[in-house]
Structure 1
Amino acid sequence: MKKIVFIGAGSMAEAVIAGIVKQGVIEPQQVYVMNKSDDERLISLQNKYGISIVCKNKEALKTADLVVLATKPKDIHQAMSDIRPLLTTQAAVLSVIAGVSIETIENGLGTRPVARSMPNTSATIGKSATGVAMNNAVDETLRKHVLGLLEAIGLVKEVEEDDLHAVTALSGSGPAYVYYLAEALEEAAIAKGISKDVARSLIIQTLEGAAAMMKETGTEPAELRKNVTSPNGTTEAGLKALEGRLFKEAIGECIDKATARSRELGAQS
């Protein structure tokens, strides 16, 4: 890939840009970014990562090898209408927009290689969990390029396109759920007299350690949970409180609602 152009300069675009630049996947000067109106945002990204801003006549699009669609879903049709006349037929597309189908992108930008992905904001530190689906126009060489790009920002799993709605709910939105859990743990700890700094450190290490146990041991989460839970002990008392609040049901509804919203966004696009 000699030139990558980002259409959109929001948090997800920055997360991917930060990941690929920090991981050395591509030189910063080969990365271009544009958005609808916020010049200050573009200048900020340029100063922070050393990337280039697409000039007013959009010359960079004419020689782009890969276009990364990173607008808000409501802006995608106008964005595609604006850039379509400038793209070569060889330019491939990678979308990181929730809910926007490959078919919608093909309709908006013509028949060309398209990969639809759902990274999360942990891409900024190279720890994203990303699902990706590709159309039949993506050959093996391009497939490897796309996977290499996404692997530079974390874990990547190829899935069927329809499964991306659930992937969006699980790993796309997932960091927010984990942060919400951390918020709740921290507030509860502070209420018990633990200082914020101590609580924060203990929570981060606890989350990190639990994730590492699942990853490194390969043990089922249910088994790991049982290993921590002594009969009539403190952990069992806490788990009973979660069960009483229908914790699993709440998580299930959380994923259901987020999946449904992804489908709604797709239907609107």
Structure 2
Amino acid sequence: MNKLVGFIGTGSMGQTLVEALIRSKALRPSQILLSNRTRSKAESLAESHPGIRIAENNAELVRKADWVFLCVKPRDYRDVLDEIGGRAGKEQMIISITSPVMIRDLEAALPSKIAKIIPSITHAVLDGTCLFIPGSRLTLRDREELLNLLSAIGTPLEIDERHCRVASDLASCGPAFLARFLEQLARAAGEVTGLPRDTALLLIIRMALGTARMLTEGGFTLESLQERVAVPGGITRKGLDLLERELDPVLIRLFRLTHAKFVEDVEKVRQSLQGAGSKG
């Protein structure tokens, strides 16, 4: 792809995207232009990947870049859109990575082609799922080019925007949720039996890796794997029965919590974006 790609925001996920795209060779450092409120963060990323350029501000970045990834927090969108609104072009693609910022609001604020993606920390190892939600102005070629870029760092999956929150819970928040479960599994093992933490973590991480390979390469489903390990009346079956009783209510509460927070965030962002993008 022969485009200049800009990234507004080089925080955790912005940096992950930049480094994954370079590592996968989907983009050369010379194709990347950065802008960040704290310039030193952008400079640090540029120093690690010679060839990356840094814009003086967001407006300059939008003037120069063909595609622009918005990697900023919801509360910062109003300021960013006010900076770039008068400079964004109709043929330019603006890609938001922030779930509660809705496409219709971005299309109201900007004349550009709009898309939303929800990346995952797993892109750091060129794996995982990158959620893709196209805006109404994207052409077939736009979609193909963006999906081709995303496929270099993971598996892109197009979803309906109304499923953005739950899909994000699984693909983007999921690695943290799973890491917490595995951490607590190790902690509980140590508390009950005295098993050293290092030993427990080694066992759990290798188990998780092997389980993932069985599901992706070994022909197992989640259901068939459980059935293969658990025999009637055995230890594993008793453990699974306990998890079904005790864990299901927790997970239902988890999704209700994330969705309630999402609805709240969407409304806050929508109110803040009223009239955005008209400056400049």
5 Å matches for 1:130-149? 130-149=130-149
1:65-116 Cα distance to aligned partner (Å, 9 max, x none): 1010110011111111111222222110111112111011112222x21111
Give the whole-Å Cα distance in 1 for the aligned partners of 2:245 and 2:137.
51
Matches within 5 A, 1:101-140: 101-110=102-111, 112-140=112-140
Q: Is the 8 A contact 1:147 1:156 kept in 2?
A: yes
1:99 and 2:87 are equivalent in the alignment:
no
d(CA) in 1 for partners of 2:258, 2:216: 25
| Separation (CA, whole Å) in 1 of partners of 2:44 and 2:238 | 49
Change (3 A) 1:262 1:128: farther
TM-score normalised by L of structure 2:
0.88
Q: Say if 1:133 and 1:205 are closer, same or farther in 2 by CA, change over 3 A.
A: same
Matches within 5 A, 1:23-102: 23-36=24-37, 38-50=38-50, 51-56=52-57, 58-102=59-103
Aligned equivalent of 2:277? none
Mapped to 2, the partners of 1:139 and 1:22 lie a distance apart of: 28
* 1:12–1:70 contact (8 Å) kept in structure 2: yes
Distance in 2 (CA, whole Å) between partners of 1:77 and 1:193 is 52
1:237 paired with 2:242, answer: no
Q: Deviations over 1:179-204 (max 9, x none)?
A: 10121122123332333332222211
Q: Using the alignment, how far apart are the partners of 1:146 and 1:261 within structure 2?
A: 29
Match of 1:255 in 2: 255
Q: Is the 8 A contact 1:64 1:87 kept in 2?
A: no
Q: Summarize deviations over 1:171-225 as a string: whole Å, max 9, x none.
A: 1211111110121122123332333332222211111121222222454312211
Structure 1 gaps, min length 5: none
**Matched residue SS, 1:173:** helix
1:164 equivalent in structure 2: 164
CA RMSD of aligned residues (A): 1.8
8 Å CA contact 2:58–2:84 kept in 1: the answer is: no
Check the 8 A contact 1:63/1:87 in 2, yes or no: no
Conserved? CA contact 2:34–2:53, under 8 Å: yes
TM-score, structure 1 normalization:
0.92
Deviations 1:206-251 (A, max 9, x none): 1112122222245431221121112222212322332342x12212
Which 5+ residue runs of structure 2 have no aligned equivalent?
A: 270-280
DSSP-derived class of the 2:209 partner? helix
Kindly state the Cα deviation for residue 58 of structure 1 after the two structures are TM-superposed.
4.4
Equivalents in 1 of 2:137, 2:90: separation in Å?
12
- Structure-2 change in CA distance of 1:132 and 1:263 (3 Å): farther
Which one is further off, 208-217 or 137-146? 208-217
- For the residue of structure 1 that corresponds to 2:117, the secondary structure is strand
CA contact (8 A) 1:15 1:124 kept: yes
The number of equivalent residue pairs is: 266
Distance of 2:80 and 2:165 partners within structure 1: 22
The answer on 1:176 being equivalent to 2:176 is yes
Partner Cα separation in structure 1 for residue 122 and residue 233 of structure 2 = 38
Q: How many Å separate the matches in 2 of 1:14 and 1:66?
A: 16
- Structure 1 partner of 2:225: 224
- Residues 218 and 159 of structure 1: CA distance in aligned 2, closer, same or farther (over 3 Å): farther
Give the match's secondary structure for 1:144: helix
Match in the other structure for 1:10 = 11
Identity percentage of aligned residues: 26
